[in-house]
Structure formats: C-alpha cells, structure tokens
C-alpha cells in the first residue's frame, strides 16, 4: 500500500529510536531511523517520497527547527512531532508552523503506526497529484519542441515522456537531419536529471587518444601535452545525460572500452588508477541499422544490446508530410526573429512545392529553406520546385489525396463514417482508397 514511501524517524534516545523503528517495521513500513535532525535534513529534498517523524527535544538542532527547515524545502511534506507529556503550548506552536500532527510521550505502538499511516496516505496522494500535473505540463511543453501532428510524431512524444524519467539507456535512430539530438535533449529536459549537464560528443572520426581523453578525462602528465587534469564527458555529465552521436563511427577498440564502462558503471581518467563512479544516463544516436552492422561485424553486438535498452525511431520528413506546413511556419517565424525581417506569407503554390519535395536532408533541410525564404533567396517555388516538377501528376495527386484522407480521419478520430461524410465520399469508396494507400483507422484513434 505504501510501496516506495519511507518514514524518517528521528530520535536521539537509542531505546526509543529502536522501539519506534520496530513498531513501524512490524506494520510493514519502510523506516530509516536517525539520531539527529542534521542527518534527517540531508535526506529531505523537494518531493521526498515519505514522511518525517521527529522528537522535539534533541541535542543539536531540535524538532521545531527541523520542522521549519523541512517545510522550507517541501511545504507539502507531512511532519509529525513527538512532544513531552502535557506540553500543549509546544503542540499548538508546532501545528501553527505547519506540522501534520503531534504525538505525546509516552505513546503506544498502535498510535504511532496509525498516525504515520495516515500521513503516508496523504503523502502518496500528494505525490501522485504532483506527478500528474508535471506530466501534463511536460506534455504541453514537449509539443512545442517536438513539433508535428502526424501519428508517428505523437507516438514519439508519448514514448519520450514515458522514458524520460527512467535511467534506461536509449538508442535514437534516424536519418541525417531528422532531429536525433533534439530527441536526446527532450529525454534529458523532461527527466529528473534536467538540472544537471547534457554532455554531447560526436564520435565521428575522433582519434583513439583524443576520444579517451574527451570521454574519460586525463590526469596531468598522462601523455605528452597533458599539462593539467582534464574532466571528461562522463564526469562532466555526472547526474545528467551523456549523448553519443554517430555511435556507428566509433572504432572497434573504443567500442570495447565504452562497453566495459557501461557494464561496470565505473571509469578511470587516463593516467589514474582510482575508479570513479559513472552517474549519467546514456543516449546514443545513429543513422545506421546497428543490428545489421553488428551482424556483418562492423559494430559490436554486445555494445548494441547494451545501448538499445530502448530504441526510438524518428521517421523521415517524407513519411510525415502533413507536418511540413506547421514545421515550415515555425522555422519561418524563427528565422524572421533571428534576421530581423518580416515573416513572408507562404502561397498555395509554394506550399505545394514544399509538400512535393522528397526532403533528403529532412527537417534540417526544411529549416535551411525557411531561412532562405525569409532572406529572399528562394524563388516562388522555393528550393523544391525542381524536385516537384520531376514528380508525375499522378504521384502528386496520390500524395494530396493521402493528405486529405489522413486529415479527415484524424479530425474524426478514425471514425470512417464521419470521415466519409466530411470528405463527401461514399463509405465504400473511402475504404477502397484507404486500402490502396495503406491507411488504417487504428492510426487515427485517440486515447
């Protein structure tokens, strides 16, 4: 019932401390018994998963001061004070300061357990509400970062939010320009590690000695030119996230060293013998099929499986064309602010040009076109006119037909009857077109 919640029981009398701890443990509660307020204060942080029970009269910091400081850290933390018999004035003062409840000495095991269980119930509900509010805020915020209304991007946002606050290592897969680092940053920004460093390293073409120094750091004198100690990426990312881009380009000898570090979660600076703990979440990114690379011996399979606890695949822009208008508008507004220009209006013909392009450079290419458009360097059909002209009329008609049907299905939450009415098509005709285009109503159902 109270899984994941802990009782901090503070009492400087060893006998009373042991008795209280045993009583709470017999009730099935997780207890951390401490002899001083100073010890307890080190464990209390915002959102502490548990409650605080403390004696008032203790050597050093007393219970009332502990109450004040604990509530400064987290005003919603239930704090139960244990007072002397008949000390009503102190109990009243404690309640005014924000104490959840108080217990008079001598107290029975049953009374202690009952009061603590009530406090734990309240704490559990409070933390659950805070978590739900945080998830709602994060959901709203992430929609402004990972832009798009396509089913694939909505699914990606959901998975990012589900994984963000875990310590699972993640492999992000996507073509060049799809936004792999952006996804990695979202995993960091919406996690409890958000206040620590996001340390990024591009593994492409880095020499072995430089790679080791960059990742693990080095001591002064470790090699020629190492005149002073250097903190590596792993150490810099302590408590945060280490992002390894283009992991497929890492030489085999370095793959072995990285694998060992990931498995043992310790590392050593070059030139040092003392192991240091690795306290960071690892997100790797690749544009290659690492499993296929492993099968042909170009990438270590054990490292692949270590990195791919969770795999996030980012769809190329050509597979989510319905997101192009929204993305382009966003990039145009950004470019206008950056260059101090007025944001130009996109015409229907220009939008058609954008929608018809294949986008081999994906979102990065689209952003570049938006910059050129704002600067007046792109012509009427933007940078995509030639590519659009190479598409046959039939190909363009099929593409726009797909977009219209997808938009209708999404507006109707996958209900074909409503979508057919919205499109002015017989239901059988809509079914035939969906079958030909490979569309399924399941992709558009909400909730």
Q: What is the pLDDT of residue 204?
A: 76
Of 144, 177, 138, 175, nearest to 160 by C-alpha is 138
Please, which pLDDT band fits residue 69 given cuts at 50, 70 and 90? very high
Average pLDDT, the chain: 86
Best mean pLDDT range from 86-90, 282-286, 384-388: 282-286
Cβ burial, residue 251 (10 Å; 0-12/13-18/19+): middle
pLDDT in tens, 206-242: 777 688 888 888 888 878 777 888 888 999 999 999 9
pLDDT computed for residue 389 by the predictor? 41
Cα separation, 221 vs 230, whole angstroms: 11
pLDDT band at 110 (very low <50, low <70, confident <90, very high): very high
Tokens 């593409």 belong to residue: 399
Residue 250 CA to residue 203 CA, distance in Å, equals 6
pLDDT at 173: 96
What average pLDDT does range 250-279 have in this prediction? 89
pTM of model > 0.85? no
Looking at residue 386, its pLDDT comes to 36
pLDDT at 156 over 90: yes
Q: What is residue 134's predicted lDDT score, i.e. its pLDDT?
A: 65
Lowest mean pLDDT among 40-44, 135-139, 392-396: 135-139
CA–chain centroid gap for 66, Å, is 33
Q: How confident is the model at residue 87 (pLDDT cuts 50, 70, 90)?
A: low
- Cα separation, 102 vs 309, in Å, equals 47
The CA distance from 236 to 231, in Å, is: 6
Mean pLDDT of 274-303: 92
pLDDT at site 196: 92
Tokens of 150: 């396509």
pLDDT at residue 388, as a whole number: 42
Domains in the chain, please, with CATH?
6-131 (3.40.50.2300), 151-315 (3.40.50.300), 319-444 (1.10.8.60)
pLDDT digits (tens, 9 = 90+) for 399-428: 677 777 887 888 788 888 888 888 888 888
In this predicted structure, what is the pLDDT of residue 396? 62
Distance CA 217, CA 230 (A): 5
C-beta of residue 129 within 8 angstroms of C-beta of residue 135: no
Closest by Cα among 126, 119, 121, 124 to 103: 119
Stronger pLDDT, 128 or 370, i.e. the higher one: 370
CB count in 10 Å sphere of residue 342: 8
């Amino acid at each position: 019932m109270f899984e994941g919640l802990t009782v901090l029981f503070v009492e400087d009398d060893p006998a009373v401390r042991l008795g209280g701890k045993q009583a709470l443990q017999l009730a099935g509660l997780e207890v951390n018994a401490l002899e001083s307020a100073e010890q307890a204060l080190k464990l209390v942080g915002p959102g502490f998963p548990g409650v605080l029970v403390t004696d008032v009269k203790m050597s050093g910091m007393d219970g009332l001061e502990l109450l004040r400081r604990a509530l400064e850290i987290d005003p919603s933390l239930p704090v139960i004070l244990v007072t002397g018999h008949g000390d009503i004035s102190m109990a009243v003062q404690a309640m005014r300061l924000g104490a959840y409840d108080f217990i008079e000495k001598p107290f029975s095991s049953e009374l202690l357990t009952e009061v603590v269980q009530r406090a734990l119930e309240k704490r559990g509900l409070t933390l659950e509400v805070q978590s739900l509010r945080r998830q709602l805020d994060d959901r709203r915020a992430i929609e402004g970062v990972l832009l798009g209304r396509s089913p694939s991007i909505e699914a990606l946002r959901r998975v990012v939010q589900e994984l963000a606050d875990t310590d699972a290592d993640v492999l992000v897969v996507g073509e060049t320009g799809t936004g792999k680092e952006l996804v990695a940053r979202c995993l960091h920004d919406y996690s409890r590690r958000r206040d620590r460093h996001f340390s990024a390293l591009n593994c492409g073409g880095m020499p072995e000695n430089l790679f080791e120094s960059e990742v693990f750091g080095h001591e002064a004198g470790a090699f020629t030119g190492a005149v002073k100690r250097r903190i590596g990426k792993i150490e810099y990312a302590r408590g945060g996230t280490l992002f390894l881009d283009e992991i497929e380009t890492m030489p085999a000898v370095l793959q072995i060293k990285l694998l060992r570090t990931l498995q043992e979660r310790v590392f050593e600076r070059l030139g040092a013998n003392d192991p240091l703990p690795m306290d960071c979440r690892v997100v790797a990114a690749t544009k290659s099929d690492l499993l296929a690379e492993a099968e042909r011996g170009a990438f270590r399979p054990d490292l692949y499986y270590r990195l791919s606890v969770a795999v996030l695949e980012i769809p190329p822009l050509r597979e989510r064309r319905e997101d192009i208008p929204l993305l382009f508008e966003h990039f145009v507004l950004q470019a206008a602010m950056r260059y101090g220009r007025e944001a130009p209006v996109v015409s229907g013909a220009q939008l058609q040009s954008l929608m018809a392009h294949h986008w081999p450079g994906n979102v990065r290419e689209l952003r570049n076109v938006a910059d050129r458009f704002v600067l007046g360097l792109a012509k009427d059909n933007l940078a995509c006119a030639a590519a659009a002209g190479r598409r046959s009329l039939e190909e363009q008609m099929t593409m726009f037909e797909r977009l219209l049907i997808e938009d209708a299905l999404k507006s109707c939450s996958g209900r074909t009857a409503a979508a057919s009415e919205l499109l002015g098509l017989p239901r059988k005709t809509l079914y035939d077109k969906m079958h030909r285009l490979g569309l399924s109503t399941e992709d558009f159902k909400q909730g």
